[in-house]
Amino acid sequence: MPTDPGHPILVFDGVCLLCSRWVRFILRHDRAGRYRFAAMQSETGRALLDAHGLDPDDPNSLLLCEAGAHWTDSDAIVRVLTGFGGAWHAFAVLRLLPRRLRDPAYRMLARHRYRWFGRSQTCWLPSPEHAERFLP
């Protein structure tokens, strides 16, 4: 299974416009350069999804891998936000909502993401300054 030691890896849908905006948001706020990224359509992304029991051909889940553990759906989002540090730790309060409430909302958004936000014909490409943070 591909990994990037010392860096959490976020597997995202590279053709989803909402997902690409989420990655750009992370790049803007991750001042420590902590996160690495793999599109679900890439070799690394597919391998990580498969290794964690997610279907690479029907990806309706965000996957965050870090230090041998993994998180999906709303847990992945909250973990990324709190991982920025500082005032971002306030988002930890979202963990007080049970996953049985958070995850269905996430899954509804994931199911309708192309219809509501659009889809690109090709994967989004990072700027040259961020290219080293993207795994093949």
pLDDT bin (cut points 50, 70, 90) of residue 1 is very low
In a domain, 45, yes or no: yes
The residues pairing with 66 across neighbouring beta strands, listed in sequence order, are: 69
Select the more confidently predicted residue: 128 or 9: 9
Q: How far apart are the first and last CA of the chain?
A: 13
Cβ burial, residue 62 (10 Å; 0-12/13-18/19+) = buried
In a domain, 3, yes or no: no
The dihedral over CA atoms of 15, 17, 103, 34, expressed in degrees to the nearest 10, equals: 80
In a domain, 109, yes or no: yes
Which pLDDT score, from 0 to 100, does residue 4 have? 52
- How many angstroms separate the CA atoms of 11 and 46, rounded? 9
In a domain, 83, yes or no: yes
In a domain, 135, yes or no: no
* Averaged pLDDT for residues 108-133: 82
In a domain, 72, yes or no: yes
Which pLDDT score, from 0 to 100, does residue 5 have? 59
In a domain, 1, yes or no: no
Instruction: Domain of residue 44: give its range.
Output: 9-128
Please report how the helices 99-117 and 73-83 are oriented relative to each other, as an axis angle in degrees rounded to 10: 90
* Structural domain total, the chain: 1
